[in-house]
């Protein structure tokens, strides 16, 4: 399928037409300048010839060439396929369009200034220029076509990039231009070109002819310079203004903002980096929000400092593991009203999570009516065993006698063990999960289950007791068999509150 056969909706057609309109503006500019010249010299027959040439060259030939330049972009507008294949063409659209118009202007100005001489015209028939004025006029007029077209099409490219970003979600990613060069070209054309023409004419003419030539230059400049300044200022300042507005939105908390990249120089690259920054900030905000459900805000911030992309690298470290479970929940779930049960669980978690967060723990997983929390991984905590026992005591105290929504009681059983574990982020894409692996994790889960057999609330392994130090009162339950382990382990019951404040 050729690009001509590709279907286009009304908006796409309008976007394409604007390019041809942008390329046609130079016809209007040259026609007005030609009229000023012919009016000053009362040479309206010459104006008719110039107008005919402009129609053929600056409309017919120009728009044909423009269609060839724009063809790959048009195909992408219709299909949205293979942006990488047209990205360089899109990025260089102003430059290619400007070079094309400059070539046409050189042809037109050469025809106007050399053809009368070749045909043997005299000064009484046609206002002939000196050779110096001839070459300077060709140079300035060609530069006029190049600079105006470049900045007009650059202005068009800004709108086109907005459209492509909105329609196809693509952005420019090739940056080989120079913002300072753009400014230099703009200043050179608007300031130096008119002065160059006037200087050459002062050296070339005298008397009334000099006055006429300078008046023509001033009138043409009065017409062209406002147009040039408008497009130059728009091209240079609009991306900066849009970037400033984007920064204001980010500062106001809108991290969803993304900006279209509309140029191939430093400002375009800065816009790309702004988008990358906004994406990173949003990801970090999502991670902070997710972590914040399970840990305190300060802990979430610290975790994000260690893992800006949400991936905590694998590491082996001693940690204290905690498993909780609601005593008699299975029976309770069979007879309780479902809505009341869910509401009670929400209330229960609101009671259970704060002690864990307060003592620097991180909730890794919710398991039915229980949870799995870790201390010292992923967040470092030198006194992790004591912190886990302290959090467990606060949880038991908070849930033991409390009546939750629907008149439900949700007493908690807790198992705690300390040992070496492997921690890290696993998953793919956006589906990431922080996981702890190791025998110490399984042992903590088994200790929580043993509470049911012994009618206890908190059971800790010998390793946790020794690591926590003399801060709590325990009762030894002796060596016990742990499912999944070949050897028996010394187990202890935590009898009461800690003797001194921990954490």
**pLDDT at residue number 3:** 45
pLDDT band, residue 174 (cuts 50/70/90): confident
Q: Is the pLDDT of residue 442 over 80?
A: yes
**pLDDT at residue number 198:** 80
Q: Is the pLDDT of residue 306 over 80?
A: no
Are 94 and 16 in contact, with CB atoms under 8 Å apart?
no
**pLDDT at residue number 112:** 75
Closest by CA to 274, choosing from 252, 287, 259, is: 259
- H or E element: which one contains 420? strand 412-428
**Per the domain annotation, does 276 fall within a domain?**
no
Last residue of a domain, one of 193, 225, 257: 225
Is the same domain home to 202 and 321?
no
**Per the domain annotation, does 144 fall within a domain?**
yes
**Per the domain annotation, does 173 fall within a domain?**
yes
- Classify strands 474-480 and 489-494 as parallel, antiparallel or unpaired: antiparallel
Is the same domain home to 8 and 96?
yes
Is the same domain home to 218 and 303?
no
Residue with tokens 């006194």: 383
Q: Which residues of 48-74 are buried (b: 16+ CB within 10 A; e: fewer)?
A: ebbbebbeebbeeebbebbeebbebbb
Pairwise CA distance, residues 351 & 326, whole Å: 13
Q: Is the pLDDT of residue 43 over 80?
A: no
The DSSP code sequence of 425-485 is EEEETTEEEEEEESHHHHHHHHHHHHHHHHT-SEEEEHHHHHHH-TTS-EEEEEEE--TT-
Q: What integer is the mean pLDDT of 24-48? A: 87
Determine the 3-state secondary structure of 56 from DSSP. Answer: helix
Domain around 218: 3-225
Is the same domain home to 213 and 322?
no
**pLDDT at residue number 501:** 47
Are 12 and 78 in contact, with CB atoms under 8 Å apart?
yes
Helices vs strands, H then E, count in the chain: 16, 10
Count of domains for the chain: 2
Pairwise CA distance, residues 214 & 253, whole Å: 57
Q: How many Cβ atoms from other residues are within 10 Å of residue 151's Cβ?
A: 26
**CA Rg value for the chain:** 39
**pLDDT at residue number 183:** 86
For 15-33, the pLDDT digits (tens) are: 999 999 999 999 999 999 8
Span of 61-75, 130-144, 341-355, 457-471 with lowest mean pLDDT: 130-144
Q: What is the mean pLDDT of the chain?
A: 85
Answer whether the bond into residue 303 is a cis peptide, omega within 30°: no
For 113-135, the pLDDT digits (tens) are: 766 555 554 444 445 566 677 77
Q: Is the pLDDT of residue 286 over 60?
A: yes
Q: What integer is the mean pLDDT of 44-73? A: 92
Is the same domain home to 9 and 115?
yes
Pairwise CA distance, residues 210 & 142, whole Å: 22
Is the same domain home to 42 and 136?
yes
For 223-282, the pLDDT digits (tens) are: 888 988 898 889 888 988 999 998 999 888 888 889 999 888 898 889 999 888 888 787
Q: Mean pLDDT highest for which of 100-114, 120-134, 290-304?
A: 100-114
Q: Is the pLDDT of residue 97 over 90?
A: yes
- Classify strands 370-375 and 362-367 as parallel, antiparallel or unpaired: antiparallel
**Per the domain annotation, does 252 fall within a domain?**
no
Is the same domain home to 375 and 467?
yes
Q: Which two tokens stand for residue 190?
A: 């608007």
Pairwise CA distance, residues 432 & 257, whole Å: 24
**pLDDT at residue number 4:** 47
Residue with tokens 């044909």: 64
**pLDDT at residue number 233:** 87
Question: Interior CA angle at 449 toward 410 and 472, to 5°?
Answer: 80
* 127 vs 196, higher pLDDT: 196
Closest by CA to 434, choosing from 363, 382, 368, 385, is: 363
**pLDDT at residue number 424:** 78
**pLDDT at residue number 176:** 84
**Per the domain annotation, does 272 fall within a domain?**
no
Pairwise CA distance, residues 415 & 178, whole Å: 64
Last residue of a domain, one of 225, 244, 260: 225
**Per the domain annotation, does 474 fall within a domain?**
yes
Span of 132-136, 166-170, 204-208, 218-222 with lowest mean pLDDT: 132-136
Is the same domain home to 329 and 451?
yes
Pairwise CA distance, residues 126 & 448, whole Å: 106
Between the alpha carbon of residue 464 and those of residues 128, 319, 452, the distances in Å are: 103, 9, 20
Considering the entire predicted model, what is its pTM? 0.63
Q: Is the pLDDT of residue 1 over 50?
A: no
**Per the domain annotation, does 449 fall within a domain?**
yes
Q: Which two tokens stand for residue 76?
A: 């992408």
**pLDDT at residue number 299:** 52
Q: Which two tokens stand for residue 393?
A: 């005591």
Last residue of a domain, one of 176, 201, 225: 225
Between the alpha carbon of residue 148 and those of residues 145, 197, 229, 415, the distances in Å are: 6, 17, 9, 77
Q: Is the pLDDT of residue 430 over 80?
A: no
What CATH number is associated with residue 410? 3.30.70.1230
Is the same domain home to 321 and 195?
no
**pLDDT at residue number 194:** 77
Is the same domain home to 471 and 322?
yes
Pairwise CA distance, residues 480 & 489, whole Å: 5
For 311-343, the pLDDT digits (tens) are: 666 789 999 999 999 998 888 888 888 888 999
Is the same domain home to 197 and 302?
no
**Per the domain annotation, does 232 fall within a domain?**
no
Closest by CA to 372, choosing from 301, 444, 432, 424, is: 444
**pLDDT at residue number 275:** 87
Span of 253-257, 269-273, 410-414, 467-471 with lowest mean pLDDT: 253-257
Is the same domain home to 92 and 208?
yes
């Amino acid at each position: 399928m050729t690009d001509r056969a590709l279907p286009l909706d009304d908006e796409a057609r309008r976007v394409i037409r604007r390019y041809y309109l942008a390329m046609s503006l130079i016809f209007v500019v040259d026609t007005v300048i030609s009229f000023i010249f012919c009016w000053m010299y009362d040479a309206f027959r010459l104006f008719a010839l110039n107008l005919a040439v402009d129609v053929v060259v600056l409309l017919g030939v120009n728009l044909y060439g423009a269609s060839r330049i724009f063809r790959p972009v048009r195909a992408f507008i219709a299909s949205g396929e293979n942006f990488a294949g047209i990205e360089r063409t899109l990025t260089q659209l102003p430059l290619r369009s400007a070079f094309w118009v400059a070539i046409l202007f050189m042809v037109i100005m050469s025809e106007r200034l050399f053809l009368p001489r070749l045909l043997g015209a005299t000064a009484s028939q046609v206002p002939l220029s000196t050779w110096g004025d001839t070459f300077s006029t060709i140079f300035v007029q060609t530069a006029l076509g190049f600079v105006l077209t470049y900045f007009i099409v650059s202005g068009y490219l800004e709108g086109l990039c907005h459209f492509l970003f909105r329609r196809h979600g693509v952005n420019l990613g090739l940056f080989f231009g120079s913002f300072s060069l753009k400014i230099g070209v703009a200043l050179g054309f608007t300031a130096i070109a008119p002065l160059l023409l006037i200087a050459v004419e002062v050296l070339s003419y005298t008397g009334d002819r000099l006055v006429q030539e300078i008046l023509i230059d001033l009138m043409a400049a009065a017409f062209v310079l406002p147009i040039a300044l408008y497009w130059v200022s728009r091209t240079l300042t609009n991306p900066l203004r849009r970037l400033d507005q984007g920064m204001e939105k980010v500062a106001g908390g809108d991290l969803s903002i993304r900006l279209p990249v509309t140029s191939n120089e430093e400002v375009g690259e800065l816009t790309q980096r702004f988008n990358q920054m906004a994406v990173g900030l949003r990801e970090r905000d999502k991670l902070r929000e997710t972590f914040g459900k399970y840990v305190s805000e300060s802990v979430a911030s610290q975790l994000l400092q260690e893992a800006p992309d949400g991936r905590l690298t694998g590491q082996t470290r001693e940690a204290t593991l905690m498993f909780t479970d609601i005593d008699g929940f299975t029976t309770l779930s069979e007879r309780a009203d479902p809505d009341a049960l869910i509401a009670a669980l929400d209330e229960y978690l609101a009671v259970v999570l704060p002690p864990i967060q307060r003592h620097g723990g991180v909730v890794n997983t919710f398991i039915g009516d229980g949870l799995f929390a870790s201390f010292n991984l992923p967040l470092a905590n030198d006194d992790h065993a004591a912190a886990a026992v302290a959090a467990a005591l606060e949880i038991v105290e908070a849930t033991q006698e409390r009546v939750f929504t629907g008149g439900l009681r949700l007493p908690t059983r807790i198992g705690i063990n300390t040992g070496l574990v492997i921690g890290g982020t696993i998953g793919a894409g956006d589906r990431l999960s922080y996981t702890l692996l190791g025998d110490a994790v399984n042992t903590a889960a088994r200790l929580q289950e043993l509470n049911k057999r012994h009618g206890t609330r908190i059971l800790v392994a010998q390793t946790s007791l020794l690591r926590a130090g003399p801060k709590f009162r325990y009762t030894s339950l002796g060596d016990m068999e742990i499912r999944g382990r070949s050897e028996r382990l010394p187990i202890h019951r935590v009898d009461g509150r800690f003797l001194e404040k921990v954490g």
